Each structure stands twice: as structure tokens, then as C-alpha cells.
Amino acid sequence: MRRRTGVRIAFSCLLLVGTWASASLTSTAGAAPAPTAPPASAGMLTALQEDLGLTASQARERLAAEKTAMRVDRAARRTAGSTYAGSWYDAGTGKLTVATTRADKADALRETGAAVRVVRHSAKELDAAKERIDALDAPKGVSSWHVAPRGNTVVVNVVAAQRRDNDVQRFLDRARQAGPVQVETVGKAPRTFAAGTVGGDPYYTGNVRCSIGFSVHGGFVTAGHCGQAGAGVRGWDGSNIGSFQGSSFPGNDYAYVSVGNGWWTVPVVLGWGTVPDQLVRGSAEAPVGASVCRSGSTTHWHCGTVLAKNETVNYSQGAVHQMTKTSVCAEPGDSGGSFISGDQAQGVTSGGWGNCRGGGETWHQPVNEILGRYGLTLHTA
């Protein structure tokens, strides 16, 4: 890296981390240690207050409750076994609800600290129904589809203006044959958040600017639609960082970039002055309903909540599977950037609809899936 000033060197070092914050001890592919005490920096609390309409004490209490919910979910999954039918976090009560197909499991599940709901379909059955829908050829008027534990169904999202389109109706008819389906409407179709080159931002490949996700040992992870395997990557100062070692899009939306040429990685996520730069400590997965924040090179730091998991998103380039949907806004150039919940890494920004002036929704590709795919180890503090 070119050494211009001490401040510039420090800034470029942080850029290489990506834009992520999270916590727990060292995490390897597919493994996430149990969360410890929740972070409560002034900047983090301020961001949650502004984006979620919380007071400082409410933000602090929510972070603590969500840490507990992550722990309860892991215990409940083990207890429910094959009867597990999903879970969701209720910010109003501060409790995690776990669904099961067996009433005789309820008492044991309550002992884990979860509220319990008895439902008809197991998570395995709903996942199988979604996989059957994944095999269908979706028209552009179909935005996405995901398993919805709260409704014990598969939700198919359709762009409102195209709800009556013949191709959309045929798709819905076939989707209903795959399993329990609920149809909902959205205002706009999803898109990815790559952008043309803009000086002074995290990384470039060709004429595209994207955002760095998480540091891993040997490089960083980001969105697959930002570049193909073998493509070179330049940093904020135009110097060579490394290259894409692996990339998948569509189907998935993740990539691994090597780091060298004087650049290095550190376990930090940029706060962009909104919050302090955050240390990354692990990758415990947040439940539906939990708060989540995103850091990206265009719109910097924004927060919201987890809306759905295992959603298939139907971009114009093709469907992407196993995505997590959030209420966080994003804009072109934020692609690849970091999603965090409390102090735990969640995933890399893929795409969405809307913007950070009028609001919208954004999907991320879960980070543990990326680590497992490429055999990577998350760089943690």
C-alpha cells in the first residue's frame, strides 16, 4: 500500500476489514461461539436509537435480550430436534418464540427460555417446499420467496403492479402445489447494489465499486456480483490489493478476495463516524426480529431488523438462494458490505429495493455459508 500519511494508512487498513462489527471468540467456517455481554458503545446505541426509534436504555436492553435469544435458539433447536419449525424474536416482549410440531415438546422447550407455538409443518417440511419452488423458473414479477416460521408457510412476494400478470399467476399456481404458500405484494423488484467507479471508496474491480465485507485470514469476503474469479481488485488509492479467488452469482452472491501487495487485514468494521469502528469477534446468527446494522461505502451506517431467512431473491440476472431479508436501507456501491447484529457478523450485502432517503429492504448472504464454501476463517479480535 502507498504510504502517504499516518491517518491515510490507518484508514486504508480499516477499509480492508470491510464494513463489519460482531463479537465472540475466534470463529471458523460454520462455527459460531456463544455471545457474551452485549456491546453498548455510545455510537452503536445512537445508531439503534435513530434507525429503530429507541431510547438509549431501550437500545441497551434490546442488545442484551437479542444476545439471550441467540443462545436460547441454539438450545431450543437441540431440544426440538426433528419437530423444530423455526423461531422468531419479538422486540416488544424481548422473547424468542420457537415453533414445534409436537405439543409434548412444549414444556422442554420452555425450559430453554423460549415461548412455544405448536404448528403443523416442521422446518424440514417448509424448507423442502421452498426447494421445490426454487426449482421453478420465476418471472420478473416474482420478487422473492422465503420460509416464514411465524406463519408456518412459504411466503412468495410479488411486485404489486404485476400481480395479475399471466406468467406470475402460472408461477403461483405451481408454487401452491409445492406446499403451504402465502402470497404477499411488494412495491418494487429487487436489484443489486454495485456502482460505477467513484474515487475515495473501498474497492474497485473494472469500472465497478463495491464494499468490503469481513476480513478473513488471507483476504476478505464480499458479494459475488461485484467480480468474477481472477479479476483484479484495487483499493481506495488505486493500488493493487489482490484478486477474486472465488465468486458465485447468481445462485449465490458471495466471493473471496485475496489480500497482498502491502495491504493487510484487521478484524474491524467501519463506523463511518456514526459509530466507533467496531471489532469483529464472531458470527452467531441473529433470529428473525432481531436488530441488525449495515456498513457500506455509499450510505455508510444504517440499522433495521431481520425480516426473514432462507429467502430466494429473483434478480434480473437470476435467482439467489438462502438470503436473509432486512429492513435496512442500501444504495448502489454498498454491495458486499457488512451486516452485523449486536457484535456478531451476519452477512455481506447483496441487493434490495428502495434507498436511504425513502427507505426500503436489503438482503444479505449469510457469512457462515461463505466461510464454509471457501474453507475460510473469520478474522476476529
Q: Which of 225, 321, 364, 379 is catalytic?
A: 225
335 catalytically annotated? yes
Tell how strand 115-118 and strand 95-100 pair up: parallel
Separation in Å, CA 181 to CA 139, 155, 177, 261: 17, 6, 9, 51
3-state secondary structure 298-365: CCEEEEEEEEEEEEEEEECCEEEEEEEEECCCCCCCCCCCEEEECCEEEEEEEEEEEECCCEEEEEEE
A 10 A CB-CB count for 223 gives 32
Q: Which of 51, 73, 201, 253 is catalytic?
A: 253
**Phi, psi (degrees; rounded to nearest 5) at 68:** -65, -40
Which residue shows C-alpha cell 427507505? 359
Q: Are the C-beta atoms of residues 288 and 150 closer than 8 Å to each other?
A: yes
DSSP 45-77: HHHHHHHH---HHHHHHHHHHHHHHHHHHHHHH
Distance separating alpha carbons of residues 350 and 320, to the nearest angstrom:
9
379 catalytically annotated? no
- Cell numbers standing for residue 181: 404458500
Distance separating alpha carbons of residues 15 and 102, to the nearest angstrom:
48
Distance separating alpha carbons of residues 47 and 357, to the nearest angstrom:
16
Distance separating alpha carbons of residues 59 and 164, to the nearest angstrom:
42
Distance separating alpha carbons of residues 242 and 330, to the nearest angstrom:
26
DSSP 102-167: -GGGHHHHHTTT-EEEE-SS-HHHHHHHHHHHHTS---TTEEEEEEETTTTEEEEEEEGGGTT-HH
104 catalytically annotated? no
Q: Which of 211, 335, 341, 350 is catalytic?
A: 335
Provide the angle, in degrees to the nearest 10, between the axes of the packed helices 166-178 and 123-134. Answer: 140
**Residues annotated catalytic, as ranges:** 225, 253, 335
